[in-house]
Amino acid sequence: MRRYLRIVVLCLACGFCSLLYAFSQLAVSPEEGAGGGGGKPQAAVASWLAGGGRSTLRGAGPVAHPGGSDRYNLKMQPVEKMHLAVVACGERLEETMTMLKSAIIFSIKPLQFHIFAEDQLHQSFKGRLDSWSFLQTFNYTLYPITFPSENAAEWKKLFKPCASQRLFLPLILKEVDSLLYVDTDILFLRPVDDIWSFLKKFNSTQIAAMAPEHEEPRIGWYNRFARHPYYGKTGVNSGVMLMNMTRMRRKYFKNDMTTVRLQWGDILMPLLKKYKLNITWGDQDLLNIMFSHNPESLFVFPCQWNYRPDHCIYGSNCQEAEEDGIFILHGNRGVYHDDKQPAFRAVYEALRNCSFEDDNIHSLLKPLELELQKTVHTYCGKIYKIFIKQLAKSIRDLYARSPKEK
């Protein structure tokens, strides 16, 4: 009898210990989840980021963000967000706001904006973006311009002020998996969702996507004038750059400086030191050099996803845009602000002056078409219909979606 009692007591003791273990695991698991790591590997971060040497909070009411940036959460969305980054310095506030507006109008999934700007622009960005908070379709974070401290001056003056900031996005935004970087002079004429979907088309070796610099080699810059390696036949343009930054941080890049492959954070400064006297377009040239040695890592999307004056000023040379219209308009060379390419300026001004009211968006097409018809004396104006072909479809699709999706 005593033997049976001992067995019963032993079983009860084992059951009690099992219950204690189960409760301890339940208590631990929320703490692990709160850490935000999610088991994802973290890339090695350069020493200039480890110290958190970025600006302190400014403005009223922001939520503190690691590293000293300002985060303003307008709405928390449970669905996947599309991350979009831009770098704004100097007189680029209005241009950037027009780009962000075009992204918001047509996109379906919520957007997370990462805005890198000079300190004096932060309050203006905050005021303008907060006035759009009723939309409840985006969040944004403001960041100071940040370069490695030992070479900050050299990086900042490369090509244009602050332009090379984009090279450091994988190191600064180390918790972001994928990101779409665009220049300030970009206009979305269809949902960001559509270019974001290219991420799913990457094969196992591809880490980024860009469009060719030129379609026609006879007017190409890189194949005629470059004094450094470049990607493919005519190089690539970095004004629209889609990135899987997790892969970028993990990859070891082949290069022409050493037989040892280097990671993203280790290759940038050696590249600049070797080629700084040979490059013209700054960070874009460095990206061309990098992908010329690692062509398997680049996904190339068609020209209508980064349509520039070069595609029409000497005659139309983007066949995809002729067939389906322009998807993303890139007004480089300052064409939104002068009279050299009035077709580009007309689209920019139409979206700049457009508000978020449904009637306003719907009614912008007819006045825009009338303005474009005034530009037929230019090569780009002769094919003005490609500027509104996709835009008209995007507006129709916007109204075809249910009110909940708008």
Q: Is residue 53 part of a domain?
A: no
What are the helix and strand counts (H, E) for the chain?
17, 11
Q: Are both 292 and 183 inside the same structural domain?
A: yes
Q: Are both 326 and 237 inside the same structural domain?
A: no
Q: Is pLDDT of 15 > 90?
A: no
> What pLDDT does residue 200 have?
97
Q: Is pLDDT of 376 > 70?
A: yes
Q: Is residue 252 part of a domain?
A: yes
For residues 370-377, give the mean pLDDT: 97
Last residue within a domain, chosen from 284, 301, 318:
301
330-356 pLDDT, tens digit per residue, is: 999 899 999 999 999 999 999 999 988
> Cα separation of 73 and 80, whole Å?
15
Q: Is pLDDT of 258 > 60?
A: yes
On average, the pLDDT of the chain sits at: 84
Q: Is pLDDT of 25 > 50?
A: no
Q: Are both 278 and 186 inside the same structural domain?
A: yes
Q: What long-range pairs does 248-254 form, CB within 8 A, spacing at least 24?
A: 248/170, 248/207, 248/208, 249/43, 249/170, 249/171, 249/174, 250/41, 250/43, 251/207, 251/294, 251/297, 253/290, 253/293, 253/294, 253/297, 254/293, 254/294
Q: What percent of the chain has pLDDT over 70?
A: 79
Last residue within a domain, chosen from 248, 270, 301:
301
79-120 pLDDT, tens digit per residue, is: 789 999 999 999 999 999 999 999 999 999 999 999 999 999
Most confident listed range (46-60, 138-152, 376-390): 376-390
Q: Is pLDDT of 186 > 80?
A: yes
Q: Are both 291 and 322 inside the same structural domain?
A: no
And the tokens for 270? 């050696």
What's the pTM? 0.82
* Lowest mean per-residue pLDDT among 36-45, 170-179, 267-276: 36-45
Of residues 202 and 20, the one with the higher pLDDT is 202
Last residue within a domain, chosen from 266, 301, 336:
301
Q: What percent of the chain has pLDDT over 90?
A: 67
Q: What range defines the domain where residue 365 resides? A: 309-401
